[in-house]
Structure 1
Amino acid sequence: MKTSVITLAHGRHAHLAAQQQALLRSTRLPDDYIVVAMADPEIPGRFPDPLLSGTVIEVPASGSALPLAAARNAGARAALDRGAGLLVFLDVDCLPAPELLAGYASAARDEAAAGRLLCGPVTYLDPPGQAGYDLDVLGTLDAPHPARPAPGPGEIVPDENPDLFWSLSFALTAADWHRIGGFCEDYTGYGGEDTDFARVAQRRGIGLAWIGAARAYHQWHPTQDPPVQHLADILRNANLFHDRWGTWPMGGWLEGFRKLGLMRGGTDEVPCTLTQPAPHPA
Protein backbone atom coordinates (compact mmCIF):
# COMPACT_ATOMS: atom_id res chain seq x y z
CA MET A 1 0.00 0.00 0.00
CA LYS A 2 1.57 3.28 -1.13
CA THR A 3 1.92 5.60 1.87
CA SER A 4 1.75 9.37 1.41
CA VAL A 5 2.56 11.92 4.11
CA ILE A 6 0.64 15.21 3.86
CA THR A 7 1.80 18.31 5.71
CA LEU A 8 0.30 21.81 5.62
CA ALA A 9 2.67 24.75 6.05
CA HIS A 10 2.59 28.51 6.28
CA GLY A 11 5.90 29.75 7.61
CA ARG A 12 7.46 27.41 10.19
CA HIS A 13 10.19 26.60 7.67
CA ALA A 14 12.63 25.40 10.34
CA HIS A 15 9.97 23.09 11.77
CA LEU A 16 9.19 21.76 8.30
CA ALA A 17 12.88 21.09 7.63
CA ALA A 18 13.22 19.26 10.96
CA GLN A 19 10.16 17.15 10.18
CA GLN A 20 11.74 16.06 6.92
CA GLN A 21 14.98 15.10 8.66
CA ALA A 22 12.92 13.00 11.07
CA LEU A 23 11.08 11.36 8.16
CA LEU A 24 14.43 10.41 6.65
CA ARG A 25 15.16 8.45 9.85
CA SER A 26 11.96 6.41 9.49
CA THR A 27 12.17 2.64 9.52
CA ARG A 28 9.82 2.89 6.54
CA LEU A 29 10.31 5.92 4.32
CA PRO A 30 7.21 7.60 2.89
CA ASP A 31 6.47 6.62 -0.69
CA ASP A 32 5.33 10.17 -1.32
CA TYR A 33 5.47 13.44 0.62
CA ILE A 34 2.99 16.19 -0.16
CA VAL A 35 3.72 19.65 1.27
CA VAL A 36 0.72 21.96 0.99
CA ALA A 37 1.95 25.56 1.01
CA MET A 38 -0.80 27.86 2.25
CA ALA A 39 -0.16 31.39 0.96
CA ASP A 40 3.60 30.88 1.34
CA PRO A 41 5.49 31.42 -1.95
CA GLU A 42 8.85 30.60 -0.36
CA ILE A 43 8.07 26.93 0.23
CA PRO A 44 8.03 25.59 -3.36
CA GLY A 45 11.64 26.59 -3.95
CA ARG A 46 12.90 25.05 -0.70
CA PHE A 47 10.97 21.84 -0.10
CA PRO A 48 10.68 18.90 -0.08
CA ASP A 49 14.13 17.58 0.80
CA PRO A 50 15.65 16.05 -2.36
CA LEU A 51 16.11 12.75 -0.51
CA LEU A 52 12.33 12.45 -0.13
CA SER A 53 10.06 11.62 -3.04
CA GLY A 54 7.37 14.25 -3.12
CA THR A 55 6.03 17.56 -4.31
CA VAL A 56 4.65 20.91 -3.17
CA ILE A 57 1.19 22.15 -4.04
CA GLU A 58 0.04 25.71 -3.37
CA VAL A 59 -3.28 26.80 -1.88
CA PRO A 60 -4.14 30.51 -1.58
CA ALA A 61 -5.37 32.00 1.66
CA SER A 62 -9.07 32.63 2.22
CA GLY A 63 -9.03 36.29 3.18
CA SER A 64 -6.99 36.63 6.36
CA ALA A 65 -7.67 33.04 7.48
CA LEU A 66 -5.57 30.05 6.55
CA PRO A 67 -7.68 27.51 4.62
CA LEU A 68 -6.84 24.48 6.77
CA ALA A 69 -9.80 22.34 5.73
CA ALA A 70 -9.43 23.14 2.03
CA ALA A 71 -5.67 22.60 2.20
CA ARG A 72 -6.05 19.13 3.73
CA ASN A 73 -8.50 18.23 0.99
CA ALA A 74 -6.11 19.54 -1.67
CA GLY A 75 -3.26 17.53 -0.17
CA ALA A 76 -5.37 14.40 -0.12
CA ARG A 77 -6.46 14.88 -3.74
CA ALA A 78 -2.83 15.27 -4.82
CA ALA A 79 -1.78 12.17 -2.88
CA LEU A 80 -4.65 10.09 -4.28
CA ASP A 81 -3.94 11.27 -7.82
CA ARG A 82 -0.36 10.05 -7.29
CA GLY A 83 -1.56 6.59 -6.23
CA ALA A 84 -1.76 6.77 -2.42
CA GLY A 85 -3.44 3.93 -0.58
CA LEU A 86 -2.74 5.29 2.90
CA LEU A 87 -2.89 8.99 3.78
CA VAL A 88 -0.81 10.11 6.78
CA PHE A 89 -1.46 13.69 7.91
CA LEU A 90 1.29 15.27 10.02
CA ASP A 91 1.10 18.77 11.47
CA VAL A 92 4.11 20.85 10.37
CA ASP A 93 5.20 21.03 14.01
CA CYS A 94 5.28 17.24 14.42
CA LEU A 95 8.46 15.18 14.32
CA PRO A 96 7.57 11.56 13.54
CA ALA A 97 9.19 8.83 15.57
CA PRO A 98 11.14 6.38 13.37
CA GLU A 99 8.35 3.81 13.72
CA LEU A 100 5.42 6.15 13.02
CA LEU A 101 4.89 5.37 9.35
CA ALA A 102 5.41 1.64 9.80
CA GLY A 103 3.04 1.76 12.77
CA TYR A 104 0.28 3.42 10.77
CA ALA A 105 0.81 1.09 7.80
CA SER A 106 0.64 -1.98 10.03
CA ALA A 107 -2.47 -0.70 11.83
CA ALA A 108 -4.26 -0.09 8.53
CA ARG A 109 -4.01 -3.85 7.91
CA ASP A 110 -4.91 -4.87 11.48
CA GLU A 111 -8.43 -6.12 12.17
CA ALA A 112 -8.59 -4.07 15.40
CA ALA A 113 -8.10 -0.80 13.49
CA ALA A 114 -9.52 -1.55 10.06
CA GLY A 115 -12.03 1.03 8.84
CA ARG A 116 -11.06 3.58 11.51
CA LEU A 117 -9.29 6.91 11.76
CA LEU A 118 -5.83 5.99 13.01
CA CYS A 119 -4.47 8.40 15.63
CA GLY A 120 -1.02 8.38 17.20
CA PRO A 121 0.04 9.73 20.61
CA VAL A 122 1.73 13.14 20.52
CA THR A 123 4.25 14.51 23.02
CA TYR A 124 4.54 18.29 23.37
CA LEU A 125 8.23 19.15 23.62
CA ASP A 126 9.90 21.83 25.70
CA PRO A 127 11.83 24.56 23.85
CA PRO A 128 14.97 23.17 22.18
CA GLY A 129 18.51 24.31 22.82
CA GLN A 130 20.41 26.44 20.34
CA ALA A 131 21.25 23.38 18.25
CA GLY A 132 17.61 22.35 17.94
CA TYR A 133 16.16 18.98 18.87
CA ASP A 134 18.43 15.94 18.92
CA LEU A 135 16.49 13.49 16.78
CA ASP A 136 18.48 10.58 18.18
CA VAL A 137 16.99 10.99 21.67
CA LEU A 138 13.36 11.95 20.95
CA GLY A 139 12.17 8.63 22.34
CA THR A 140 13.58 9.48 25.75
CA LEU A 141 11.31 12.55 25.85
CA ASP A 142 8.14 10.53 25.31
CA ALA A 143 5.31 11.93 27.46
CA PRO A 144 2.09 11.91 25.42
CA HIS A 145 -0.51 14.62 25.98
CA PRO A 146 -2.75 13.47 28.85
CA ALA A 147 -5.98 14.58 27.17
CA ARG A 148 -5.80 11.71 24.67
CA PRO A 149 -5.35 7.93 24.96
CA ALA A 150 -1.71 6.88 24.74
CA PRO A 151 -1.36 3.12 24.32
CA GLY A 152 2.10 1.63 24.47
CA PRO A 153 4.07 0.72 21.34
CA GLY A 154 2.47 -2.28 19.69
CA GLU A 155 -0.95 -1.64 21.26
CA ILE A 156 -4.10 -0.55 19.42
CA VAL A 157 -7.05 0.92 21.34
CA PRO A 158 -10.35 1.37 19.44
CA ASP A 159 -12.33 4.46 20.48
CA GLU A 160 -15.85 5.63 19.68
CA ASN A 161 -15.52 9.26 20.86
CA PRO A 162 -15.04 11.47 17.77
CA ASP A 163 -14.46 14.54 19.92
CA LEU A 164 -11.06 13.13 20.93
CA PHE A 165 -9.84 13.19 17.34
CA TRP A 166 -7.07 15.64 16.51
CA SER A 167 -5.40 16.49 13.26
CA LEU A 168 -1.82 16.70 14.56
CA SER A 169 -1.11 13.14 13.51
CA PHE A 170 -3.59 10.76 11.91
CA ALA A 171 -3.93 8.34 9.04
CA LEU A 172 -6.64 6.63 7.05
CA THR A 173 -6.95 4.51 3.94
CA ALA A 174 -7.94 5.98 0.60
CA ALA A 175 -11.21 4.04 0.79
CA ASP A 176 -12.09 5.56 4.16
CA TRP A 177 -11.18 9.05 2.94
CA HIS A 178 -13.66 8.62 0.10
CA ARG A 179 -16.33 7.33 2.51
CA ILE A 180 -15.96 10.43 4.69
CA GLY A 181 -15.70 12.85 1.78
CA GLY A 182 -12.95 15.04 3.20
CA PHE A 183 -13.06 18.09 5.46
CA CYS A 184 -15.93 20.56 5.34
CA GLU A 185 -14.53 23.61 3.56
CA ASP A 186 -17.10 25.92 5.12
CA TYR A 187 -14.61 26.08 8.00
CA THR A 188 -11.85 28.61 7.43
CA GLY A 189 -8.99 29.35 9.73
CA TYR A 190 -8.30 27.64 13.01
CA GLY A 191 -10.60 25.44 15.05
CA GLY A 192 -13.46 22.99 14.79
CA GLU A 193 -12.87 21.51 11.35
CA ASP A 194 -11.11 18.42 12.70
CA THR A 195 -13.84 17.58 15.22
CA ASP A 196 -16.40 18.05 12.45
CA PHE A 197 -14.41 15.64 10.26
CA ALA A 198 -14.47 12.96 12.97
CA ARG A 199 -18.21 13.51 13.56
CA VAL A 200 -18.89 12.95 9.85
CA ALA A 201 -16.68 9.85 9.97
CA GLN A 202 -18.64 8.46 12.91
CA ARG A 203 -21.92 9.09 11.11
CA ARG A 204 -20.55 6.96 8.26
CA GLY A 205 -19.47 4.13 10.51
CA ILE A 206 -15.82 5.10 10.95
CA GLY A 207 -14.59 5.32 14.53
CA LEU A 208 -11.13 6.03 15.94
CA ALA A 209 -8.23 3.78 16.86
CA TRP A 210 -5.22 4.91 18.91
CA ILE A 211 -2.01 3.45 17.53
CA GLY A 212 0.73 3.11 20.11
CA ALA A 213 3.46 2.57 17.52
CA ALA A 214 2.68 5.84 15.69
CA ARG A 215 4.25 8.34 18.08
CA ALA A 216 5.08 11.94 17.21
CA TYR A 217 6.76 14.85 18.97
CA HIS A 218 5.37 18.37 18.69
CA GLN A 219 8.04 21.03 18.34
CA TRP A 220 7.66 23.92 20.74
CA HIS A 221 6.46 27.33 19.56
CA PRO A 222 5.01 30.30 21.41
CA THR A 223 1.30 30.05 22.03
CA GLN A 224 -1.52 31.45 24.14
CA ASP A 225 -4.16 29.68 26.19
CA PRO A 226 -6.85 30.34 25.20
CA PRO A 227 -5.55 31.07 21.68
CA VAL A 228 -6.61 34.71 21.49
CA GLN A 229 -4.70 35.13 18.23
CA HIS A 230 -7.31 32.85 16.60
CA LEU A 231 -10.33 34.34 18.37
CA ALA A 232 -12.32 35.43 15.29
CA ASP A 233 -11.71 32.12 13.49
CA ILE A 234 -12.69 30.06 16.52
CA LEU A 235 -15.94 31.94 17.14
CA ARG A 236 -16.95 31.79 13.48
CA ASN A 237 -16.15 28.09 13.28
CA ALA A 238 -17.84 27.33 16.60
CA ASN A 239 -21.06 28.88 15.31
CA LEU A 240 -20.81 26.81 12.13
CA PHE A 241 -20.19 23.64 14.13
CA HIS A 242 -23.22 24.35 16.31
CA ASP A 243 -25.37 24.91 13.23
CA ARG A 244 -24.25 21.54 11.86
CA TRP A 245 -24.26 19.42 15.04
CA GLY A 246 -26.31 21.21 17.70
CA THR A 247 -23.46 21.20 20.24
CA TRP A 248 -20.60 23.57 21.01
CA PRO A 249 -17.01 22.52 20.24
CA MET A 250 -13.84 23.82 21.88
CA GLY A 251 -15.65 24.36 25.17
CA GLY A 252 -12.53 25.11 27.19
CA TRP A 253 -11.43 27.83 24.79
CA LEU A 254 -14.87 29.42 24.62
CA GLU A 255 -15.04 29.50 28.40
CA GLY A 256 -11.58 31.07 28.52
CA PHE A 257 -12.62 33.78 26.05
CA ARG A 258 -15.75 34.51 28.10
CA LYS A 259 -13.68 34.89 31.26
CA LEU A 260 -11.44 37.36 29.45
CA GLY A 261 -14.49 39.35 28.38
CA LEU A 262 -13.73 38.79 24.68
CA MET A 263 -17.01 37.12 23.71
CA ARG A 264 -20.52 36.31 24.75
CA GLY A 265 -22.68 33.32 23.90
CA GLY A 266 -21.47 29.89 22.91
CA THR A 267 -23.91 28.24 25.34
CA ASP A 268 -27.33 26.72 24.77
CA GLU A 269 -28.67 28.29 21.56
CA VAL A 270 -26.90 31.65 21.94
CA PRO A 271 -24.36 32.20 19.12
CA CYS A 272 -20.82 33.32 19.78
CA THR A 273 -20.27 37.04 19.29
CA LEU A 274 -17.28 39.29 19.88
CA THR A 275 -17.50 41.92 22.59
CA GLN A 276 -14.52 43.84 21.15
CA PRO A 277 -12.46 43.72 17.94
CA ALA A 278 -10.49 40.49 17.60
CA PRO A 279 -6.68 40.64 17.80
CA HIS A 280 -4.95 40.36 14.44
CA PRO A 281 -3.55 36.82 13.96
CA ALA A 282 0.22 36.54 14.40
Structure 2
Amino acid sequence: MTGTRPRTAVITLAAGRHEHLLLQQDGLAASPAGPDHYVVVSMADPAIAALTAGRKPAADVIGVPRQDGRLPLAAARNAGAARALSFGADLLVFLDVDCVPGPELLNGYARAARDGALLCGTVAYLPPAPAGGYRLDSLHGMARPHPARPVPEDGQVVRGGDPRLFWSLSFALTAPTWDRIGGFCEDYAGYGGEDTDFAATAAERGADLWWVGGAPAYHQYHPTQHPPVQHVDDILRNGAIYRERWGTWPMEGWLREFASRGMAAYEPATDTWRRK
Protein backbone atom coordinates (compact mmCIF):
# COMPACT_ATOMS: atom_id res chain seq x y z
CA MET A 1 0.00 0.00 0.00
CA THR A 2 1.23 3.47 -0.75
CA GLY A 3 1.04 6.44 1.56
CA THR A 4 0.55 6.00 5.29
CA ARG A 5 0.94 2.55 6.80
CA PRO A 6 -2.38 0.70 6.82
CA ARG A 7 -4.06 -0.03 10.12
CA THR A 8 -3.14 -3.69 10.43
CA ALA A 9 -4.91 -6.45 12.34
CA VAL A 10 -3.42 -9.89 12.96
CA ILE A 11 -5.99 -12.65 13.36
CA THR A 12 -5.27 -16.12 14.71
CA LEU A 13 -7.43 -19.05 15.75
CA ALA A 14 -6.64 -21.14 18.80
CA ALA A 15 -7.81 -24.33 20.46
CA GLY A 16 -4.98 -25.72 22.51
CA ARG A 17 -1.42 -25.23 21.20
CA HIS A 18 -0.89 -22.76 24.03
CA GLU A 19 2.91 -22.65 23.85
CA HIS A 20 2.71 -22.06 20.10
CA LEU A 21 0.28 -19.19 20.61
CA LEU A 22 2.53 -17.54 23.20
CA LEU A 23 5.56 -17.70 20.92
CA GLN A 24 3.51 -16.14 18.13
CA GLN A 25 2.54 -13.34 20.51
CA ASP A 26 6.21 -12.89 21.43
CA GLY A 27 7.12 -12.74 17.73
CA LEU A 28 4.59 -10.00 17.14
CA ALA A 29 5.85 -8.08 20.17
CA ALA A 30 9.39 -8.25 18.76
CA SER A 31 8.38 -6.97 15.34
CA PRO A 32 9.62 -3.45 14.50
CA ALA A 33 6.08 -2.59 13.45
CA GLY A 34 3.63 -4.47 15.63
CA PRO A 35 -0.01 -4.94 14.75
CA ASP A 36 -2.53 -2.24 15.55
CA HIS A 37 -4.94 -4.95 16.67
CA TYR A 38 -4.31 -8.59 17.62
CA VAL A 39 -7.45 -10.70 17.48
CA VAL A 40 -7.31 -14.21 18.96
CA VAL A 41 -10.36 -16.32 18.23
CA SER A 42 -10.79 -18.99 20.87
CA MET A 43 -12.54 -22.03 19.46
CA ALA A 44 -14.17 -23.27 22.65
CA ASP A 45 -10.92 -22.94 24.62
CA PRO A 46 -11.70 -20.98 27.80
CA ALA A 47 -8.03 -20.84 28.85
CA ILE A 48 -6.98 -18.52 26.01
CA ALA A 49 -8.01 -15.22 27.60
CA ALA A 50 -6.09 -15.75 30.85
CA LEU A 51 -3.13 -17.24 28.98
CA THR A 52 -2.56 -14.17 26.80
CA ALA A 53 -3.59 -11.51 29.34
CA GLY A 54 -1.00 -8.93 30.37
CA ARG A 55 1.33 -9.72 27.50
CA LYS A 56 2.23 -7.71 24.40
CA PRO A 57 0.72 -7.12 21.99
CA ALA A 58 -2.54 -7.04 23.89
CA ALA A 59 -4.76 -9.85 22.69
CA ASP A 60 -8.40 -9.11 21.93
CA VAL A 61 -9.85 -12.56 22.64
CA ILE A 62 -13.24 -13.50 21.25
CA GLY A 63 -14.89 -16.90 21.34
CA VAL A 64 -16.81 -19.12 18.94
CA PRO A 65 -18.41 -22.47 19.81
CA ARG A 66 -17.68 -25.76 18.11
CA GLN A 67 -19.99 -26.90 15.31
CA ASP A 68 -21.32 -30.37 16.08
CA GLY A 69 -18.08 -31.08 17.90
CA ARG A 70 -15.91 -29.83 15.02
CA LEU A 71 -13.53 -26.89 15.06
CA PRO A 72 -15.30 -24.03 13.25
CA LEU A 73 -12.30 -22.81 11.26
CA ALA A 74 -14.28 -20.95 8.60
CA ALA A 75 -16.68 -19.31 11.05
CA ALA A 76 -13.81 -18.41 13.39
CA ARG A 77 -11.87 -16.63 10.65
CA ASN A 78 -14.99 -14.70 9.68
CA ALA A 79 -15.58 -13.74 13.31
CA GLY A 80 -11.98 -12.58 13.66
CA ALA A 81 -12.19 -10.50 10.50
CA ALA A 82 -15.49 -8.95 11.58
CA ARG A 83 -13.94 -7.97 14.91
CA ALA A 84 -10.89 -6.43 13.23
CA LEU A 85 -12.95 -4.54 10.67
CA SER A 86 -15.20 -3.16 13.40
CA PHE A 87 -12.07 -1.54 14.88
CA GLY A 88 -11.13 0.02 11.55
CA ALA A 89 -8.59 -2.43 10.11
CA ASP A 90 -7.33 -1.62 6.62
CA LEU A 91 -5.23 -4.78 6.26
CA LEU A 92 -6.12 -8.22 7.63
CA VAL A 93 -3.24 -10.60 8.31
CA PHE A 94 -4.20 -14.18 9.16
CA LEU A 95 -1.63 -16.36 10.92
CA ASP A 96 -2.06 -19.99 11.89
CA VAL A 97 -1.51 -20.46 15.62
CA ASP A 98 1.58 -22.54 14.83
CA CYS A 99 3.18 -19.69 12.87
CA VAL A 100 5.66 -17.26 14.38
CA PRO A 101 5.98 -14.05 12.34
CA GLY A 102 9.39 -13.02 11.14
CA PRO A 103 10.39 -9.48 12.13
CA GLU A 104 9.44 -8.06 8.72
CA LEU A 105 6.23 -10.01 8.11
CA LEU A 106 3.87 -7.11 8.81
CA ASN A 107 5.95 -4.58 6.90
CA GLY A 108 6.29 -7.00 3.99
CA TYR A 109 2.57 -7.52 3.74
CA ALA A 110 1.88 -3.79 4.10
CA ARG A 111 4.27 -2.95 1.25
CA ALA A 112 2.73 -5.54 -1.09
CA ALA A 113 -0.92 -4.97 -0.24
CA ARG A 114 -3.23 -3.80 -3.03
CA ASP A 115 -6.96 -3.99 -3.41
CA GLY A 116 -7.76 -7.08 -5.45
CA ALA A 117 -4.71 -9.07 -4.28
CA LEU A 118 -4.71 -12.13 -2.02
CA LEU A 119 -1.23 -12.21 -0.47
CA CYS A 120 0.64 -15.29 0.71
CA GLY A 121 3.95 -14.88 2.49
CA THR A 122 6.55 -17.59 2.75
CA VAL A 123 6.24 -20.21 5.49
CA ALA A 124 9.27 -22.27 6.50
CA TYR A 125 9.04 -25.33 8.72
CA LEU A 126 10.93 -25.71 11.99
CA PRO A 127 12.36 -28.93 13.41
CA PRO A 128 11.34 -30.02 16.92
CA ALA A 129 12.17 -27.35 19.47
CA PRO A 130 15.52 -27.73 21.24
CA ALA A 131 15.79 -27.98 25.00
CA GLY A 132 14.48 -24.74 26.42
CA GLY A 133 12.27 -24.05 23.41
CA TYR A 134 12.67 -21.99 20.26
CA ARG A 135 14.51 -18.66 20.30
CA LEU A 136 13.14 -15.94 18.06
CA ASP A 137 16.56 -14.92 16.80
CA SER A 138 17.40 -18.45 15.63
CA LEU A 139 14.23 -19.34 13.72
CA HIS A 140 15.41 -18.20 10.29
CA GLY A 141 18.47 -20.43 10.35
CA MET A 142 16.55 -23.47 11.59
CA ALA A 143 13.56 -23.43 9.23
CA ARG A 144 13.20 -25.05 5.81
CA PRO A 145 10.79 -23.84 3.09
CA HIS A 146 7.92 -25.96 1.82
CA PRO A 147 9.11 -27.75 -1.33
CA ALA A 148 5.81 -27.28 -3.19
CA ARG A 149 5.36 -23.53 -2.67
CA PRO A 150 7.08 -20.53 -4.28
CA VAL A 151 9.81 -18.89 -2.19
CA PRO A 152 10.26 -15.35 -3.57
CA GLU A 153 13.26 -13.29 -2.57
CA ASP A 154 12.81 -10.41 -0.14
CA GLY A 155 10.95 -7.61 -1.89
CA GLN A 156 9.87 -9.85 -4.78
CA VAL A 157 6.18 -10.41 -5.51
CA VAL A 158 5.12 -13.25 -7.80
CA ARG A 159 1.70 -12.48 -9.26
CA GLY A 160 -0.81 -14.78 -10.91
CA GLY A 161 -0.37 -17.63 -8.41
CA ASP A 162 -2.27 -20.90 -8.68
CA PRO A 163 -5.28 -20.65 -6.31
CA ARG A 164 -4.98 -24.38 -5.63
CA LEU A 165 -1.70 -23.65 -3.81
CA PHE A 166 -3.24 -21.06 -1.48
CA TRP A 167 -2.67 -21.80 2.17
CA SER A 168 -4.22 -20.30 5.24
CA LEU A 169 -1.07 -20.59 7.37
CA SER A 170 -0.13 -17.01 6.52
CA PHE A 171 -2.07 -14.71 4.24
CA ALA A 172 -3.21 -11.12 4.06
CA LEU A 173 -5.62 -8.92 2.17
CA THR A 174 -7.07 -5.44 2.31
CA ALA A 175 -10.48 -4.78 3.81
CA PRO A 176 -12.06 -4.09 0.37
CA THR A 177 -10.61 -7.36 -0.95
CA TRP A 178 -12.08 -9.26 2.00
CA ASP A 179 -15.44 -7.67 1.28
CA ARG A 180 -15.16 -8.61 -2.40
CA ILE A 181 -14.46 -12.24 -1.58
CA GLY A 182 -17.11 -12.36 1.11
CA GLY A 183 -15.17 -14.32 3.73
CA PHE A 184 -15.08 -18.07 4.25
CA CYS A 185 -18.02 -20.35 3.53
CA GLU A 186 -19.32 -21.46 6.92
CA ASP A 187 -20.81 -24.69 5.55
CA TYR A 188 -17.36 -26.13 6.23
CA ALA A 189 -16.48 -27.28 9.73
CA GLY A 190 -13.59 -29.34 10.93
CA TYR A 191 -10.39 -30.03 9.05
CA GLY A 192 -9.89 -29.38 5.35
CA GLY A 193 -11.44 -27.70 2.35
CA GLU A 194 -12.48 -24.29 3.64
CA ASP A 195 -9.27 -22.60 2.53
CA THR A 196 -9.39 -24.23 -0.91
CA ASP A 197 -12.95 -22.94 -1.25
CA PHE A 198 -11.86 -19.46 -0.15
CA ALA A 199 -9.16 -19.35 -2.83
CA ALA A 200 -11.60 -20.57 -5.50
CA THR A 201 -14.06 -17.87 -4.48
CA ALA A 202 -11.30 -15.26 -4.55
CA ALA A 203 -10.32 -16.27 -8.09
CA GLU A 204 -13.93 -16.28 -9.25
CA ARG A 205 -14.38 -12.75 -7.89
CA GLY A 206 -11.25 -11.38 -9.51
CA ALA A 207 -8.77 -11.46 -6.62
CA ASP A 208 -5.29 -12.45 -7.83
CA LEU A 209 -3.02 -14.65 -5.69
CA TRP A 210 0.37 -13.04 -5.04
CA TRP A 211 3.34 -14.79 -3.41
CA VAL A 212 5.17 -12.23 -1.28
CA GLY A 213 8.87 -12.33 -0.45
CA GLY A 214 9.96 -10.52 2.69
CA ALA A 215 6.89 -11.51 4.75
CA PRO A 216 8.23 -14.68 6.40
CA ALA A 217 6.59 -16.89 8.98
CA TYR A 218 8.02 -19.94 10.74
CA HIS A 219 5.84 -22.96 11.40
CA GLN A 220 6.48 -24.51 14.79
CA TYR A 221 6.88 -28.26 14.84
CA HIS A 222 4.12 -30.56 16.02
CA PRO A 223 3.56 -34.25 15.32
CA THR A 224 1.47 -34.96 12.23
CA GLN A 225 0.08 -37.94 10.39
CA HIS A 226 0.35 -38.35 6.61
CA PRO A 227 -2.28 -38.72 5.38
CA PRO A 228 -4.27 -37.11 8.22
CA VAL A 229 -6.25 -40.24 9.04
CA GLN A 230 -7.62 -38.67 12.23
CA HIS A 231 -9.52 -36.21 10.01
CA VAL A 232 -10.86 -38.63 7.40
CA ASP A 233 -14.53 -37.98 8.26
CA ASP A 234 -14.09 -34.19 8.15
CA ILE A 235 -12.22 -34.40 4.86
CA LEU A 236 -14.92 -36.55 3.25
CA ARG A 237 -17.66 -34.25 4.56
CA ASN A 238 -15.95 -31.03 3.54
CA GLY A 239 -14.80 -32.51 0.24
CA ALA A 240 -18.42 -33.26 -0.62
CA ILE A 241 -19.40 -29.66 0.16
CA TYR A 242 -16.64 -28.43 -2.15
CA ARG A 243 -17.75 -30.90 -4.87
CA GLU A 244 -21.30 -29.55 -4.62
CA ARG A 245 -20.12 -25.94 -4.86
CA TRP A 246 -17.36 -26.24 -7.46
CA GLY A 247 -17.89 -29.49 -9.36
CA THR A 248 -14.58 -31.15 -8.44
CA TRP A 249 -13.13 -32.90 -5.41
CA PRO A 250 -10.38 -31.17 -3.41
CA MET A 251 -7.66 -32.95 -1.42
CA GLU A 252 -7.60 -35.79 -3.96
CA GLY A 253 -4.14 -36.93 -2.92
CA TRP A 254 -5.37 -37.58 0.59
CA LEU A 255 -8.55 -39.22 -0.67
CA ARG A 256 -6.53 -41.65 -2.78
CA GLU A 257 -4.31 -42.45 0.19
CA PHE A 258 -7.37 -43.10 2.35
CA ALA A 259 -8.60 -45.46 -0.36
CA SER A 260 -5.26 -47.30 -0.45
CA ARG A 261 -5.64 -47.89 3.30
CA GLY A 262 -9.20 -49.17 2.96
CA MET A 263 -10.66 -46.14 4.73
CA ALA A 264 -12.58 -44.61 1.79
CA ALA A 265 -13.85 -45.64 -1.62
CA TYR A 266 -14.63 -43.75 -4.82
CA GLU A 267 -17.85 -44.43 -6.74
CA PRO A 268 -17.35 -43.24 -10.35
CA ALA A 269 -21.01 -43.51 -11.32
CA THR A 270 -21.93 -40.77 -8.86
CA ASP A 271 -18.53 -39.05 -8.54
CA THR A 272 -18.72 -39.69 -4.80
CA TRP A 273 -16.22 -40.55 -2.12
CA ARG A 274 -17.61 -42.44 0.85
CA ARG A 275 -16.33 -43.85 4.14
CA LYS A 276 -15.58 -47.56 4.34
Give the TM-score normalised by structure 2: 0.95
Q: How large is the Cα RMSD of the aligned pairs?
A: 1.3
* Range that drifts further, 5-14 or 115-124: 115-124
Contact 2:127/2:143, CA 8 A, preserved across alignment: no
Determine the C-alpha separation between the residues in 2 that align with 1:268 and 1:226.
Answer: 26
Deviation at 1:142, TM superposition (A): 4.1
Greater shift, 170-179 or 140-149, is seen at 140-149
Deviations 1:94-134 (A, max 9, x none): 0110000110011115xxxx521100111111101121112
CA contact (8 A) 1:36 1:58 kept: yes
The share of aligned pairs that are identical, in percent, is 58
Structure 1 residue 259 and structure 2 residue 237: aligned? no
Asked if 1 retains the 8 angstrom alpha-carbon contact of 2:10 and 2:95, the reply is yes
State the secondary structure of the residue aligned to 1:89.
strand
Aligned match of 2:100:
95
Q: Which of the two has greater strand per residue?
A: 2
* 242 and 268 in structure 1: CA distance in 2 versus 1, 3 angstrom threshold: farther
Question: For the residues of structure 2 that align with 1:211 and 1:260, how far apart are their CA atoms?
Answer: 38
The equivalent residue for 2:240 is 239
CA distance in 1: counterparts of 2:107 and 2:192, whole angstroms:
29
Alpha-carbon distance, 1:270 to partner: 2.4
Q: 1:268 to 1:137 in 2, by over 3 A?
A: farther
Note the 1:47-86 alignment, pairs <5 A. Answer: 47-48=52-53, 50-86=55-91
- What is the CA–CA distance in structure 2 between the aligned matches of 1:215 and 1:165, rounded to whole Å? 15
Whether the 8 Å CA contact 1:10–1:37 is kept in 2: the answer is: yes
What residue number does 2:196 align with?
A: 195
Aligned residue number for residue 137 of structure 1: 138
Q: Name the CA distance, whole Å, in 1 between partners of 2:100 and 2:243.
A: 33
| Cα distance, 1:181 vs structure 2 | 0.5
What amino acid sits opposite 1:147 in the alignment?
A
Distance in structure 1 (CA, Å) of the matches to 2:76 and 2:267: 27
- Name the SS of the counterpart of 2:61 in structure 1: strand
Report deviation, 1:141.
Answer: 2.5
Q: Deviations over 1:5-32 (max 9, x none)?
A: 0000000000000111111111210110
1:267 to 1:176, Cα distance in 2 relative to 1, 3 A: farther
**Cα distance between partner residues in 2 of 1:191 and 1:48:** 31
CA distance in structure 1 between the partners assigned to 2:133 and 2:59 by the alignment: 25
Partner of residue 278, structure 1: none
Would the alpha carbon gap of residues 159 and 22 (structure 1) be closer, same or farther in structure 2, given more than 3 Å must change?
Answer: same
Task: Say whether residues 1:213 and 2:214 are aligned partners.
Answer: yes
CA distance in 1, matches of 2:219, 2:259: 28
Aligned residues, how many? 271
Q: Does 75-84 or 47-56 show the bigger shift?
A: 47-56
Q: 1:21-60 to 2 correspondence within 5 Å?
A: 21-48=26-53, 50-60=55-65
Give 3-state SS (helix, strand or coil) of 2:222's partner.
coil
- C-alpha deviation, 1:154, in angstroms: 1.0
Is this contact kept in 2: 1:31–1:53, CA < 8 A?
no
Q: How far, CA to CA, are the matches of 2:271 and 2:263 in structure 1?
A: 15
Counterpart contact for 1:20–1:49, Cα < 8 Å: no
Amino acid across the alignment from 2:109: Y
Gaps of 5+ in 1: 276-282
In structure 2, what is the equivalent of residue 4 of structure 1? 9
Q: Judging changes above 3 Å, is the alpha-carbon distance between structure 1 residues 247 and 267 closer, same or farther for their aligned structure 2 residues? A: farther
Give the match's secondary structure for 2:52: coil
Q: Identify if the C-alpha distance between structure 1 residues 50 and 245 changes in structure 2 by more than 3 Å, giving closer, same or farther.
A: same
Mean Cα displacement is larger for which, 130-139 or 189-198?
A: 130-139
**1:142-181 CA-partner distances (Å, limit 9, x unpaired):** 4210111110111100124211100000000000000000
TM-superposed CA distance for 1:50, in Å, is 2.8
Q: Secondary structure of the residue that 1:190 maps to in structure 2?
A: coil
